[in-house]
Structure 1
Amino acid sequence: MMKQVLSFLRSNAVGLIFIALGLAGGYLYYRLTLCASGTCPLTSTPYYSMLVGGLMGALAGDLLSALRARLTSRSSQ
């Protein structure tokens, strides 16, 4: 079981790092963006902004992983 977890973490390290960075960025966006009226949906709670930040981080990590795989496959040909 532990070997499977470590294997998963190693194979998805870039994506997990980008998700963590996105979550941190989403929280910073929540803390630093002020909504005077209180009706801003993205900054109403930290969970929404962290969710969006985590999704953006996941997309960026996936894009980077795909780009890296494409470049390594192109260089091996």
Structure 2
Amino acid sequence: MNEKPKRNIPRWLPMLLLALLGTLGGFLWYRSVGCTTGNCVISSNPLLSTFYGGAIGALLGYVFTPAKSK
């Protein structure tokens, strides 16, 4: 009778966590790889690199988001 209640993890949590991890990865990509010539559209700008990293992370997070239960 003393069962622990199940923790209900919000459905958006995996997407948020992977988006944050992606933004960090995008910024680290800019800092470590970057673009020395300035001709690289994404990796020459820290904002674009961070944004695209976050977008890729959010898309991956969407894949791992649990389905809605009935």
Q: CA–CA distance in 2 between the matches of 1:25 and 1:53? A: 6
Moved over 4 A (4+): none
Q: CA–CA distance in 2 between the matches of 1:60 and 1:50? A: 15
Letter in 2 for 1:69: A
Structure 2 residue runs without a partner (length 5+): 1-9
Aligned position for 1:69: 67
Post-superposition offset of 1:36: 2.4
Q: CA–CA distance in 1 between the matches of 2:31 and 2:64? A: 28
RMSD: 1.8
Percentage of matched positions with identical amino acids: 37
Aligned position for 2:49: 49
Count of matched residue positions in the alignment of Structure 1 and Structure 2:
60
Give secondary structure in 2 for the equivalent of 1:69: coil
Q: Quick one: structure 1 residues 52 and 14, their matched pair in 2 at CA, closer, same or farther if it must change by over 3 Å?
A: same
Q: CA–CA distance in 2 between the matches of 1:40 and 1:60? A: 24
Larger RCO (alpha carbons 8 Å, 6+ apart): 2
TM-score by length of 1: 0.68
Question: Would you tell me which structure has more helix in proportion to its own residues?
Answer: 1
Aligned position for 1:34: 34
Structure 1 residue runs without a partner (length 5+): 1-9
> What are the superposed Cα offsets for residues 37-75 of structure 1, whole Å, 9 maximum, x if unpaired?
12111112111011110110010000011xx439xx7xx
Aligned position for 2:19: 19
